[in-house]
């Protein structure tokens, strides 16, 4: 810069050099103007946040009088000095005299960390010292006559000036996308499931690459993994308002000069351009998922457990995404078979339509803990879905409202014949007087605050005592644990203890005159039911084991 340019661009606060440059070179192509992101002329002054004093030594490329090298110095106050100085080469040097409380910014590792984060893809090479590497010598040979490996020192360039998202998708292969993923996330060892290349130039400018990461079994989801750039300059990794909420679980890069960078989040949410960009990203993701499903359904099903959370979250939060996802959103049953919504509806229509004409979708949230209930349903010829994801309660509520004339019920919500009522209940082999006789026997061994005793006339081959958890209350409590229906979370767990009034063991209790023996048998039957629901623990479990040993003796 010349002295006049230093006066204009450095000494005038809130005068934007970038905007002045655009005006001066109006008519240049968009590519020639890329990289200009300053709007308020304040960027340079951030140097005083870490410095006691800042110096500029600069020499212009221009020739002639008045073009000597310039030295500018300021300690952050309104006062500054500007003089001629000795500098032979054109260009600018900025020297920061780091303050004592910002000494960390003199550490090489800290500087490298900041350069890597904020300058990783700047369109101009950034050199940070030198690095030592090993290369094959052009002149020296080893013992085998091969070129000898020698250590050389090279300039360390910390940025990739031509990142993958700037290239044409047709020129790239899957291994290129995987390599770039590891460039973005060098500490990640897993390869992404697949990628989506964004490349739009009308009605807005948007490029980028989004990755579907492989989620861990425990669903440890990390947000803030999408990096937002403006003309290859890092802006933020917090993209709420720009990317639909469910897609903030993805990883990758978005680069757009059309996103306002210096406004509040509320402004972002109302900005029409941002809404269009958000909608386009959602459309591209839906297009990619549908394409994979249509072209290679087998591969899509293999990846389903890893991508289902993204898709389910999208169907819950974005009605427009649900309209697209209906075609490729899958339901998995306990036999590890996958169905689209329409396919599954046809699959269960004959067997699981109740006498009122309503289609009942049975599901399990834990195939191990609810094994006996699953078995009872399968014995009736019913099919059971696996809904064991962290947001499946909300997902079930969403699709239950979307599907016509249906209901969802967990397999342990009631006895199987009441979950899908096909005909009138079986007549009870136990009279009301007999039920009243043994009611206090069961209640003596029950926590009546937690368990509600009911008699049901089931088949003689069904279990004598079953514990069920009513669907509505259980679902509301589960959802409250995820942030909805908070008041439900304070309610105690509620279960039904269902006594099969047609089972021979229950009928036999009415004929036993020994009260202690009645209590022993009822306690054992209750504990077996509790055990099937993983509700028998601690002292009660120990007592059950001792009692079982006594019975075997």
Residue 147 has a pLDDT of 86
Higher pLDDT, 61 or 28: 61
The answer on pLDDT for 16 being more than 80 is: no
Closest CA to 458 of 506, 494, 495: 506
What pLDDT is recorded for position 257? 83
Mean pLDDT is lowest, of 284-293, 310-319, 374-383, 469-478, for: 469-478
Maximum distance among all Cα pairs of the chain, rounded to whole angstroms: 121
Classify domain 179-295 at the CATH class level: alpha beta
Q: What is the pLDDT of residue 488?
A: 52
Give the Cα separation of 96 and 91 in Å (integer): 17
Cβ proximity of 492 and 418 under 8 Å: no
pLDDT over 70, % of the chain: 88
Rg over alpha carbons for the chain, rounded to the nearest Å, is 35
Asked if residue 343 has pLDDT above 90, the reply is: yes
Alpha-carbon span 207 to 230, nearest angstrom: 10
Give the per-residue pLDDT at 41.
Answer: 55
Query: Which sequence spans correspond to the domains of the chain?
Result: 3-106, 179-295, 329-419, 432-474+489-552
Domain 432-474+489-552 has what CATH class?
mainly alpha
pLDDT band, residue 483 (cuts 50/70/90): low
- 34 has pLDDT over 70: no
CATH architecture of the domain 3-106 equals 2-Layer Sandwich (3.30)
Asked if residue 31 has pLDDT above 60, the reply is no
Q: Give helix 432-443 / helix 515-532 axis angle, nearest 10°.
A: 70
Model confidence at 295: pLDDT above 90: yes
Given this model, what pLDDT does residue 30 score? Answer: 47
Least confident of 228-242, 283-297, 312-326, 497-511: 228-242
pLDDT value at residue 52: 94
How far apart, in whole angstroms, are the C-alpha atoms of residue 476 and residue 489? 8
pLDDT band at 315 (very low <50, low <70, confident <90, very high): very high
**Which CATH architecture does the domain made up of 329-419 adopt?**
3-Layer(aba) Sandwich (3.40)
Q: Alpha carbon of 240 to those of 199, 246, 247, 267: distances in Å?
A: 20, 10, 9, 12
Tokens of 111: 């500087």
Average pLDDT estimate for 279-290: 92
pLDDT top residue among 274 and 505? 505
Which residues in 40-90 belong to E strands, given as ranges? 51-59, 70-74, 80-84
What gap in Å lies between CA 517 and CA 509, rounded to an integer? 9
Of 143-157, 312-326, 400-414, give the lowest mean pLDDT range.
143-157
Instruction: Report pLDDT for 322.
Output: 95
pLDDT of residue 497: 93
pLDDT at 90 over 70: yes
- The residue ranking higher by pLDDT, 222 or 203, is 203
- For residue 103, CA distances in Å to 50, 76, 162, 421 come to 8, 18, 33, 74
Whether residue 234 is predicted with pLDDT greater than 70 in this model: the reply is: yes
pLDDT at 50 over 50: yes
Between these two residues, 425 and 39, which has the higher pLDDT value?
Answer: 425
What is the mean predicted confidence (pLDDT) over 367-372? 91
Q: What is the pTM of this model?
A: 0.77
Q: How confident is the model at residue 484 (pLDDT cuts 50, 70, 90)?
A: low
pLDDT band at 25 (very low <50, low <70, confident <90, very high): very low
pLDDT for res 32: 46
pLDDT value of residue 275: 79
Q: What is the pLDDT of residue 515?
A: 86
Q: Would you say 246 and 318 are in contact if contact means Cβ atoms under 8 Å apart? A: yes
Q: How confident is the model at residue 29 (pLDDT cuts 50, 70, 90)?
A: very low
pLDDT at 268 exceeding the cut of 60: no
Q: What pLDDT sits at residue 213? A: 87
Please, what is the average pLDDT of the chain? 86
**How much is the pLDDT for 167?**
93
- Per-residue pLDDT band at 264 (split at 50, 70, 90): low
Nearest to 208 by CA among 260, 266, 257: 257
Cis peptide before 454 (omega within 30 of 0): no
């Amino acid at each position: 810069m010349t002295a006049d340019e230093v006066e204009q661009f450095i000494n005038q606060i809130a005068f934007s050099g970038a905007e002045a440059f655009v005006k001066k070179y109006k008519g240049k192509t968009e590519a020639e103007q890329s990289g200009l992101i300053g709007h308020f002329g304040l960027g340079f002054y951030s140097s005083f946040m870490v410095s006691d004093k800042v110096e500029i030594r600069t020499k212009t490329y221009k020739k002639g009088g008045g073009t000597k090298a310039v030295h500018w110095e300021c300690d952050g106050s309104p006062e500054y000095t500007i003089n001629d100085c000795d500098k032979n080469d054109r260009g600018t040097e900025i020297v920061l005299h780091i303050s004592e409380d910002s000494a960390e910014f003199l550490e090489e590792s800290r500087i490298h960390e900041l350069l890597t984060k904020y300058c990783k893809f700047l369109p101009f090479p950034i050199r940070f010292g030198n690095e030592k590497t090993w290369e094959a010598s052009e002149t020296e040979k080893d013992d085998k006559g091969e070129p000898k490996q020698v250590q050389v020192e090279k300039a360390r360039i910390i940025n990739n000036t031509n990142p993958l998202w700037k290239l044409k998708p047709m020129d790239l292969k899957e291994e290129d996308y995987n390599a770039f993923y590891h460039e973005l996330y060098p500490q990640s060892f897993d390869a992404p499931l697949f990628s989506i290349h964004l490349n739009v130039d009308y009605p807005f400018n948007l490029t980028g690459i989004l990755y579907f990461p492989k989620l861990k079994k425990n669903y440890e989801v990390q947000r803030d993994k999408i990096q937002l750039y403006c003309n290859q300059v890092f802006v933020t990794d917090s993209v709420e308002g720009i990317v639909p909420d469910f897609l903030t679980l993805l990883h990758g890069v978005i680069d757009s000069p059309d996103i306002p960078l210096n406004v509040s989040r509320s402004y972002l949410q109302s900005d029409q351009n941002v809404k269009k960009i958000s909608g386009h990203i959602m459309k591209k993701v839906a297009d990619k998922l549908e394409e994979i499903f249509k072209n290679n359904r087998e591969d899509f099903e293999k990846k389903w457990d890893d991508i289902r959370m993204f898709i389910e979250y999208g169907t819950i939060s974005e009605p427009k995404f649900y309209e697209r996802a209906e075609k490729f959103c899958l339901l998995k049953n306990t036999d590890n078979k996958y169905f689209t919504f329409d396919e599954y509806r046809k699959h269960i229509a004959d067997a699981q339509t109740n006498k009122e004409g309503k289609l009942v979708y049975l599901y399990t949230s834990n195939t191990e803990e609810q094994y006996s209930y699953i078995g009872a349903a399968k014995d009736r010829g019913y099919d059971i879905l696996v809904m064991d994801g962290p947001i499946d309660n909300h997902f079930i509520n969403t699709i239950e409202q979307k599907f016509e004339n249906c209901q969802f019920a967990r397999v342990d919500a009631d006895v199987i014949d009441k979950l899908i009522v096909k005909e009138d209940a079986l007549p009870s082999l136990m009279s009301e007087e007999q039920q009243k006789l043994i009611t206090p026997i069961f209640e003596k061994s029950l926590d009546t605050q937690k368990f509600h005793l009911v008699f049901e006339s089931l088949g003689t081959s069904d279990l004598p005592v079953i514990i069920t958890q009513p669907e509505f209350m259980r679902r509301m409590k589960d959802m409250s644990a995820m942030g909805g229906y908070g008041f439900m979370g304070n309610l105690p767990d509620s279960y039904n203890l269902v006594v099969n009034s047609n089972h021979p063991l229950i009928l036999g209790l009415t004929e036993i005159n020994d009260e202690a023996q009645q209590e022993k048998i009822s306690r054992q039957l209750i504990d077996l039911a509790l055990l099937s629901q993983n509700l028998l623990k601690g002292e009660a479990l120990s007592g059950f084991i001792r009692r079982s040993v006594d019975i075997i003796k």
